[in-house]
Structure 1
Amino acid sequence: MSVAVIVSMHMLRTVLIVCIYMLQAAVIVSMDMLRAAVIVSMDMDMDTLIHLLKGSLGSGILAMPLAFYNSGLLFGVLATFVIGFICTYCVHVLVKCAHILCRRTQVPSLGFAEIAEAAFLAGPPAVQRLSGVASATINWFLGIDLLGCCCVYIVFVAKNLKQVVDFYTDDHWDLRIYMVLMMPVLIAINMVRNLKYLAPLSMIANLLIATGLAITFYYIFSDMPALETRPNFSTWHQLPLFFGTAIFALEGIGVVMPLENNMKTPTHFVGCPGVLNIGMFVVVTLYTSVGFFGYLKYGDETKGSITLNLPTEEVLAQSVKVMIAVAIFFTYALQFYVPMEIIWKAVNHRFGAHKLTAEYIIRTVLVIATVGIAAAIPNLGPFISLVGAVCLSTLGIMFPAIIELVTFWEDPGLGRFNWVLWKNLAIILFGVLGFVTGTYSSIDEIVREFGTNVE
């Protein structure tokens, strides 16, 4: 065999060996990249899940024992899971419609109000001219809902601080004095126009709420009475108050679309099990547990916030009231940001060169208005129920059903026997029932409380 052939064979073998090693390296790198991609995707999903929990877990959890007081133990458990299922299903409907409308309009993402506008624009000719009204209605309901939450927060903070201060002083100030004293600080905090500067307040609030809830559970589970001491069902008259409080606590639809739009893999949000399903199951389970055991512990003495039932003479319980009051106080600024943005976008074109001054004036007026409303309705329980019944039964239940009807009306259609139509009509009727009965019962309770205080 010639030297040339031998050299050629050695070169060929060398090339083959190099190719094999390169192939192995490519496979290893590909596997590492795939593994890294999966890990990143899991991290992104976990981040979204955490944000969903933070957005859904608010002050409403502290009002769940009062919801169970208005429903009874057994009925409260069943009804909370039913309402949780309906709210979760309506979010699925909204996200599904968002995906369809994004494809139709060739845009990457849509917000809640934008979904409604796109649905009506692409819907039947009879509703196309209502697209602007649909978008504005959702924005205004979101604004009213969040400003209503701000009013609830003011009542909550004032009541908790009053309990602590009253224990150490003989001068039992009126609840409204605490609200007025909070107002200058609230105005100052809400002069902050950039959300990133409020992030530290959010971190502090989360830490304080987590610590306060842990200590609250300690009190709830000490000396627990027997199940037989509490009714499984309350009265039909009280059920609308349960509905309003429960939906106020459970409904986090305002955070859903921003979270879904910012996911790296949006299909993971509504998949099976999916971020949404896992998050809402955790939220509903936690809220049910707090409501069940809180009402079991305090029975007919259950107040609008479970923290108000904690002993007033113990320093540990007092620290919980102060911690959660401070946390909710900080949360006010975060809740205030969204309605302020909605209102400012609607009116900023009217002020010409004086926009900055006008914005600060509007911020001040809105804070004063929320304090005024809170002072006028200082009863926490019916106030929470009223906000839930008016705003969240519309935003979380009725609007998603209406949007799906408009989106599906012509393409892809309403299905066999028009089942999409009948299903959504049933959901809308459920929302209307909760809206009407919850609003009536809440206002009736507020009027009766006001009459009692006047007398």
Structure 2
Amino acid sequence: MGATKEVNKKVEEDDYDPHEHRVVKIPTTNTETFIHFLKASVGTGVLAMPSAFSNAGYVNGLILTTVIGSIALYCLHLVINSMYELCKRKRIPYLTYPEAMTVAFEEGPPCLRFFAKIATPFVDGFLAFYHFGICCVYVVFIAESIKQIVDEYLIVLDIRIHMCFVLVPLFLIFSIRQLKHLVPFSSFANVLMFIGFGVVLYYIFSNLPPISERVAFEEISKLPLFFGTVLFSLEAVGVVIAIEQNMKTPKAYTGKFGIMNRGMFIVLALYMGLGFFGYWQYGNDSKGSVTLNIPQDEILAQVVKIFFAVTTLISYALQGYVTADIIWNHYLIKKTSEKSNLVLYELLVRACIVILTFLCAVAIPDLSLFLSLVGAFCLSILGLIFPALLELCCRYSTTYGKWKFHLVKDLLIVCFGIIGGIIGTYVSISEIVEAYK
């Protein structure tokens, strides 16, 4: 009798599909999700790829970008699949990334269960800080693009002055609170972005020097900066999860030919192509954004800079969505007693986030160093270490497979994330200190 109940319980658990019980107020279609994925994954980071390749060499750059991109994509699959499995066990429609980490630590190896108490605020903190860091980088990029145009045609001003000019547009775009309502802006941004890439490639392919003038393999001491920049560029774990959460048909996201795989294939092709050919053209003169390398005095080049400034402005709202969602929906809304002015309070929180990103951008206006620091510090944890630990704990009560394959693989990813994160963060901070002595 008891065995029958166990079997029935097991069948009942297997029959439960979290996706079918998920309720989303304003869901996005597959096409809208694909548009958001591209916009989230292809930001200012792609324009930093020639600079990243200058720290690796063109052969090293191609190999390592493929490796890091593949690992990053695999870890995104680990997160979403593990979250789905935990939801199925708990018979609930959805778990956030922090909640999933908490549940996983509770069910994982005894030596890790202590972390269950701090997992939610810890993951929330890193997610919020990472996407906050991206927004800081975006403020720098937009201001730098505007500065080049204004310097050429009007008056030379400090970049920090231009950061002040973008505050109002940032307030306006960041006041859009639903991902669904950002879709038209993301679609427009994607069109401008691909036109911009076409023009940038036109300049890159003009009078390419002999490839022999470039280095195939750079010295190892430069690789940490490459690691941080590429990881920053390729990973958008918080937005990727938020996009899946808001889908009408989430099953279409993670399949073999799902939205995430198709999107990442396009993203990797763009990153490798722009990195390789951008480095071939500009070599060690490659700047934090390749748009800063193209001619200052040509109208077409200036138009492209405007295009990328606009797409980055829209990306700011998409990336900042995660920070705002965590701060407001996970914490502050619970402490707000006056429910009639919730929208106003949320807009005030978003305004504070904009001001803080502005202040941080003013403090460190060096785009390439900021990119590397944020990527190495945050994404080694969020995009590599946590996903591996999530699967490791999730599989603890079932199986790690033949020869404990999944356990060994997850531990290797954790080690890769720890080593890369520590070295990348140390080198980035050292470079920042050296630059601002």
Contact 2:229 2:372 survives alignment (8 Å): yes
- Taking the aligned partners of 1:274 and 1:46, their CA distance within structure 2 comes to 12
SS in 2 for 1:303: coil
CA RMSD of aligned residues (A): 2.5
1:412 corresponds, among 381, 385, 398, to 398
Q: 1:31-110 to 2 correspondence within 5 Å? A: 48-110=33-95
1:380 corresponds, among 333, 349, 367, to 367
* Identity level (%): 44
Q: Do residues 446 (structure 1) and 432 (structure 2) align?
A: yes
Instruction: String of CA shifts for 1:131-163, please: whole Å, max 9, x gaps.
Output: 352222222211111111111011101111111
Match for 2:144: what amino acid?
K
SS in 1 for 2:48: helix
Residue 135 of structure 2 is matched in structure 1 by 150
Match for 2:281: what amino acid?
K
Match for 2:398: what amino acid?
P
Contact 2:380 2:420 survives alignment (8 Å): yes
Contact 2:41 2:236 survives alignment (8 Å): yes
Q: 1:105 to 1:245 in 2, by over 3 A?
A: same
CA drift of 1:87 comes to 1.0
Q: 1:265 to 1:435 in 2, by over 3 A?
A: same
1:301 corresponds, among 285, 295, 302, to 285
Residue 165 of structure 1 is matched in structure 2 by 150
Q: 1:50-449 to 2 correspondence within 5 Å? A: 50-124=35-109, 127-128=112-113, 130-169=115-154, 171-260=155-244, 269-345=253-329, 346-353=331-338, 355=342, 358-409=345-396, 411-449=397-435
Match for 2:162: what amino acid?
Y
Contact 1:159 1:175 survives alignment (8 Å): yes
Match for 2:390: what amino acid?
I
The higher radius of gyration belongs to 1
Match for 1:372: what amino acid?
L
Match for 1:446: what amino acid?
I
CA drift of 1:285 comes to 1.9
SS in 2 for 1:352: coil
- Taking the aligned partners of 2:307 and 2:164, their CA distance within structure 1 comes to 20
Instruction: String of CA shifts for 1:331-385, please: whole Å, max 9, x gaps.
Output: 2223222211111121233342275554344333221111111011000001001
- Taking the aligned partners of 1:93 and 1:199, their CA distance within structure 2 comes to 26
Q: 1:167 to 1:256 in 2, by over 3 A?
A: closer
Q: 1:85 to 1:307 in 2, by over 3 A?
A: same
CA drift of 1:129 comes to 5.6
Contact 1:191 1:363 survives alignment (8 Å): yes
- Taking the aligned partners of 2:127 and 2:365, their CA distance within structure 1 comes to 22
- Taking the aligned partners of 2:242 and 2:149, their CA distance within structure 1 comes to 38
- Taking the aligned partners of 1:385 and 1:253, their CA distance within structure 2 comes to 17
CA drift of 1:268 comes to 5.3
List gaps (5 residues or longer) in structure 1.
1-43
CA drift of 1:439 comes to 0.8
- Taking the aligned partners of 2:215 and 2:148, their CA distance within structure 1 comes to 29
- Taking the aligned partners of 2:378 and 2:45, their CA distance within structure 1 comes to 14
- Taking the aligned partners of 2:426 and 2:435, their CA distance within structure 1 comes to 14
Contact 1:201 1:331 survives alignment (8 Å): no
Query: TM-score w.r.t. structure 2 length?
Result: 0.86
Instruction: String of CA shifts for 1:365-408, please: whole Å, max 9, x gaps.
Output: 22111111101100000100111111111111110111111111
Q: 1:67 to 1:351 in 2, by over 3 A?
A: same
Match for 1:428: what amino acid?
V
Q: 1:322 to 1:434 in 2, by over 3 A?
A: same
Match for 1:402: what amino acid?
L
- Taking the aligned partners of 1:326 and 1:133, their CA distance within structure 2 comes to 39
Q: 1:175 to 1:54 in 2, by over 3 A?
A: closer
Query: TM-score w.r.t. structure 1 length?
Result: 0.82
Q: 1:204 to 1:120 in 2, by over 3 A?
A: same
**In the comparison of the two structures, how many residue pairs are matched?**
407
Match for 1:384: what amino acid?
L
SS in 1 for 2:400: coil
Match for 1:135: what amino acid?
T
Contact 2:48 2:288 survives alignment (8 Å): yes
- Taking the aligned partners of 1:365 and 1:273, their CA distance within structure 2 comes to 40
- Taking the aligned partners of 2:183 and 2:254, their CA distance within structure 1 comes to 28
- Taking the aligned partners of 1:198 and 1:100, their CA distance within structure 2 comes to 30
- Taking the aligned partners of 2:179 and 2:80, their CA distance within structure 1 comes to 26
